[in-house]
Amino acid sequence: MRLRAALSLFAVAAVPQLLAAQETFTVRGMVVNQEQNIPLQYAVVGIPELEIWDLSDEAGVFELEGVQEGVYRFIALRRGYNMAIEAVNFEGPMEFIVDLAEEDQDAPLGNGNLVGQVVDQVSGRPVDGVEILLVPTEQTATADAQGRFEIEDITSGALQIELRRVGYEPRIDTIAAFPGVTLELTISMAAQPIVLEPMVVTIRSRHLEGAGFYRRQRSAAGGRQFTRADIERRNPFELTQMFDVIPSVRADRDAFGDWVLRSTRGDRCELSVWIDGTRTPGFSINTYPVDWVEALEVYVGAFVPGEFYDPCGVVLIWTRQ
């Protein structure tokens, strides 16, 4: 590694000496390719003794906050490049450029290892069957009955670790791997919430509630009810078309040419028509515009509700209020 510092830096002995800190400061810099002098993204940069790390961004820039005055190891590594490590005397805020040399492609890969355990975020119990994937190396593992897994011969640098299991939220994190170092991880996963169907809210008509429509609809005592939604779904041109699906009745014209509803049983008697709870003898059903109707009910013979009794049957028309 070659440091091109904006402030004076000097190397010290291999064994770092930690000095008492009066205050903290920030160290900034850029990681570049040594040969081409272009920025390198995803380089892991840090000071191990202080447990301060950062990943370089698209411009190769990194920022280490909370640095204390003293002599520490400064490390920079990235997949495909030789790891850089140097003892640096940090005396205050600094800015410098880190040159990383590309690895010899014929050289063997680093032999770092990864071991870990996956646990439930709430209970802390091991989670088995978790599929673990490292990106971009595509190395995989599966957590055993104790939630443990192991991946050997991982390359140094920044790696993305992905964990997936049915019943749990997927988890994606970034880890820093070092040559010859075994990383030990404990990773928690949150149970995936059960996806429920959307709640359907229907605002009932006060008019129909007071008329007992919903009570009769719930009882389903031999009649047929149509709500406004049913009417709009069928989209009839005339009101009599709503009754085509009821086998026990049939739309027909009477002696005066008016549309009535007749029972298909016995003597084919004519059902009486009620509008908003009032009986309307001689009313032609198709006289009423479809858009004005909020609900319809049809009952034949013994199934007619007591308050609208007619031995043949009834058609109840409820208008939009």
Same domain, 169 and 231: no
Range of the domain at 41: 2-100
157 Cβ contact list (under 8 Å, min separation 6): 42, 43, 44, 77, 78, 79, 80, 81, 176, 177
Same structural domain, 131 and 159: yes
Does 125 reside within a domain? yes
Same domain, 233 and 295: yes
User: Is 300 a domain residue?
Assistant: yes
The CATH number of whichever domain residue 19 belongs to comes to: 2.60.40.1120
pLDDT at 103 over 70: yes
Judgement on whether residues 181 and 238 belong to the same structural domain of the protein: no
Grouping H, G, I as helix, E, B as strand and the rest as coil, residue 15 is: coil
C-alpha–C-alpha distance, residues 52 and 67, integer Å:
8
Which pLDDT tens digit goes with each residue over 14-69? 333 333 445 899 999 999 999 999 999 888 888 888 878 888 899 999 999 999 99
My answer on whether 218 and 311 are in the same domain is: yes
Stretch 88-110: mean pLDDT, rounded? 79
Residues 250 and 265: their CA atoms lie apart, in Å, by 10
Q: Tokens representing 180?
A: 């010859």
Is 200 part of any domain? no
Give 16's contacts (C-beta < 8 A, 6+ positions apart). 49, 70, 71, 72, 73, 87
| Pair 210, 315 in one domain | yes
Lowest-confidence segment of 113-117, 140-144, 146-150, 164-168 by average pLDDT: 113-117
Query: Do 65 and 167 belong to one domain?
Result: no
> What average pLDDT does this structure show over 280-297?
84
DSSP letter for each residue of 141-177 = EE--TTSEEEEEEEPSEEEEEEEE-TTB--EEEEEEE
Handedness of CA 213, 219, 221, 222 (dihedral sign): positive
Kindly state whether residue 226 falls inside one of the protein's structural domains: yes
User: Per-residue confidence at 220, pLDDT binned at 50, 70, 90?
Assistant: low
Amino acid at 212: G
Burial class of 29 by CB neighbour count within 10 A (0 to 12, 13 to 18, 19+): buried
Tell whether 122 is covered by a domain: yes
Structure tokens that stand for 15 in this block: 């064994």
Of 163, 189, 215, the position where a domain reaches its end is 189
Q: Is residue 47 part of a domain?
A: yes
Amino acid making up residue 310:
D
pLDDT number for residue 106: 54
Whether 155 and 233 map to the same domain: the answer is no
Count of C-beta atoms within a 10 Å radius of residue 46 = 20
Percent of the chain with pLDDT over 90: 31
CA 295/CA 149 separation, integer angstroms: 63
Average pLDDT score over residue span 141-164: 89
Q: Which of 100, 125, 147 is the last residue of a domain?
A: 100
CATH number at residue 299: 2.170.130.10
Question: Which residue type is seen at 137?
Answer: T
Q: Is the pTM of this model over 0.85?
A: no
Q: Measured between alpha carbons, how far is 306 from 246 in angstroms, rounded to an integer? A: 21
Q: Whole-angstrom Cα distance, residue 291 to residue 33?
A: 74
Q: Is 90 exceeded by the pLDDT of residue 283? A: no
Count up the domains in the chain and report the number. Answer: 3
Cα–Cα distance, 72 to 12 (Å, whole number): 9
